Amino acid sequence: MDPVSPLSPANLERLEHQLLQRPPARDLVDRHVLLSTKVAPALQQKQAELERNRTIDVLENRLDPNIRMRPEDLVNRRVLLSTTVAPALQLKEELERNRTIDVLEKRLDPKIRPQPEDLVNRHVLLSTTVAPALQLKKEELERNRTIDTLEKRLSPKIRPQPEDLVDRHVLLSTTVAPALQVKKEELERSFASDRVNNALAHRATHEQLVQRHILNEDE
């Protein structure tokens, strides 16, 4: 048999496959490919015409300049690319936006996102087991207690003076060049180290400590 003939085995197999896959008549009616056999053709044509007119009205309303979105609005909503910015730069913005979305999705991942209990303990969320008024009162008391503590620590009567902080080597003196102060601190540190080493070198032996009754013989 001729392989290009409509009756060739390949064509017959293809035709049978298409016949098996064809949609039922009901689907073709719903898709307006076939007319229904239960409704008069004139009524179906009238219904199709009404639906077509309704679709046209909807499209005309959406294309109305008073309703249709302006190109600038579409650019702001990332629907259109801007004509005043190079496409490469806009693609870069798109990449940054996608990167931000990825970061947000990772932070919202249940495995990473903190549990409500943790947020309650960190005072980010209010507890659902305690009345909101009581929680607000408790937070207000804690805030006031913290403020009182800070005010006391910052009180001139308690807070150390700058001169004291300079003497304690917490602050650098404002009357001496910083380089000289650093050199002075290095010398003082070196003197202290020498004193400690000298004291360790001349410390009393075990026998001397026993004779002074500082240690027992068995210690």
Task: Give CA–CA dist 111/82, Å, rounded.
Answer: 39
- Torsion sign across C-alpha atoms 42, 46, 51, 56: positive
Task: Give CA–CA dist 77/66, Å, rounded.
Answer: 18
Q: Which residue type occupies 133? A: A
Task: Give CA–CA dist 209/217, Å, rounded.
Answer: 9
pLDDT tens for each residue of 20-70: 888 888 888 888 788 788 888 888 888 888 989 999 988 888 887 777 778
The owner of tokens 């495995």 is 111
Regions of the chain short of the pLDDT cut 70: 1-7
Q: Please, what's the b/e burial string for 160-174 (b: 16 or more CB within 10 A of its CB; e: otherwise)?
A: eeeeeebeeeeeebe
The owner of tokens 């970061």 is 103
Domain ranges of the chain: 9-71, 80-126, 166-211
This prediction's pTM: 0.27
Task: Give CA–CA dist 78/46, Å, rounded.
Answer: 41
Task: Give CA–CA dist 134/146, Å, rounded.
Answer: 18
